[in-house]
Amino acid sequence: MLPRHVAAIEKTLDSHVRKLEADKAALAANLRDRKKLEGDNQTHEQKISKLRDQMVQAKTNEQYRAFQNEIEYAQKEIRTADDRMLELMAEAEPLDINVKKADVALKQEQKLVDAEKKRAEDRTAADRAELEKLSAERQQILTGLPPAISSAYTRIRKKWNNTTVVSEVVGGRCTACQIMLRPQAFQDLRKATEPMFCESCGRFVYYTPPSALVDMSAAQ
């Protein structure tokens, strides 16, 4: 499993990718609208040209004014389309800049994410190898213990989901479950020559005499 920080930067990268895709889609839609307007204008220009040819052949003032009105309407449509194209071009400019910048930034960000994922995968592989090594060592030690102790160790690991199996008693308290031992049980533990268990959580317990702590401190 990759570390959380890798998942976090991947999530950030995904959001940047989605933003870039949205900008690209908006830019493409902008270009489509401009091309459509250009096509409409060409159609209007062709219509105006035909209408002007027809005006020359008009036989009455009414026909002439009708052709003129159609030409004016087409010219108005062209001006409206030109104004809209100018608006679209103004909208497209920042989008185009953002897309180009985002493309460059995303490539750099993707390289960082890939490098971090590689480091995380390498660390995970190293941790897994170390865990397998320690597991093999633990199994080797267990095979050398008396069956009753080995069985108890396995049972306790299963009960506590492979967490703490052996707990130190400090001040008469099991440091794993934080429950005080009975005074007699604590006294027995201080003089014990055989493995003992916490009466509350069932873990192996041990006691380090103060003199031993002093000796360990002096040796450091």
CATH code for the domain of 131: 1.10.287.1490
Residues 105, 39, single domain; the answer is yes
* Predicted local distance difference test score (pLDDT) of residue 188: 95
pLDDT value at 3 more than 60: yes
How many distinct structural domains can be found in the chain? Answer: 2
pTM: 0.51
* Predicted local distance difference test score (pLDDT) of residue 157: 92
* Predicted local distance difference test score (pLDDT) of residue 215: 53
pLDDT value at 51 more than 80: yes
* Predicted local distance difference test score (pLDDT) of residue 118: 87
Residues 88, 171, single domain; the answer is no
Residue in the block written with tokens 């750099």: 108
Model confidence pLDDT, tens digit, residues 114-156: 888 888 888 888 989 999 999 899 889 988 989 999 999 999 9
CA distances from 78 to 38, 43, 170 (A): 9, 10, 90
- Helices and strands of the chain, counted as H and E runs: 5, 4
- Contact present, 150 and 187 (Cβ < 8 Å): no
Question: What are the beta bridge partners of residue 173?
Answer: 170, 180
pLDDT value at 101 more than 70: yes
* Predicted local distance difference test score (pLDDT) of residue 189: 95
- Quote the percentage of the chain above a pLDDT of 90: 65
pLDDT value at 81 more than 90: yes
Whole-number CA gyration radius for the chain: 41
Residues 87, 173, single domain; the answer is no
Q: Determine which helix (DSSP H) or strand (DSSP E) holds 104, and give its type and residue range.
A: helix 61-143
Residues 116, 31, single domain; the answer is yes
* Predicted local distance difference test score (pLDDT) of residue 219: 52
Q: Which tokens belong to 152?
A: 């108890």
* Predicted local distance difference test score (pLDDT) of residue 133: 94
Among 117, 140, 163, the domain-final residue is 140
Residues 159, 89, single domain; the answer is no
Residues 155, 133, single domain; the answer is no
pLDDT value at 1 more than 90: no
Among 124, 140, 156, the domain-final residue is 140
Model confidence pLDDT, tens digit, residues 163-206: 899 999 999 999 999 999 999 999 999 999 999 999 999 999 99
Residues 132, 42, single domain; the answer is yes
Among 114, 140, 166, the domain-final residue is 140
Residues 165, 125, single domain; the answer is no
* Predicted local distance difference test score (pLDDT) of residue 216: 52
Quote the domain boundaries for residue 215. Answer: 147-219
Q: How confident is the model at residue 4 (pLDDT cuts 50, 70, 90)?
A: confident
Q: How far apart are CA 140 and CA 22, in angstroms?
A: 59
* Predicted local distance difference test score (pLDDT) of residue 16: 87
Residues 186, 168, single domain; the answer is yes
Residues 107, 208, single domain; the answer is no
Output the average pLDDT for the chain: 89
Residues 118, 151, single domain; the answer is no
Q: Determine which helix (DSSP H) or strand (DSSP E) holds 196, and give its type and residue range.
A: strand 196-197
Residues 48, 122, single domain; the answer is yes
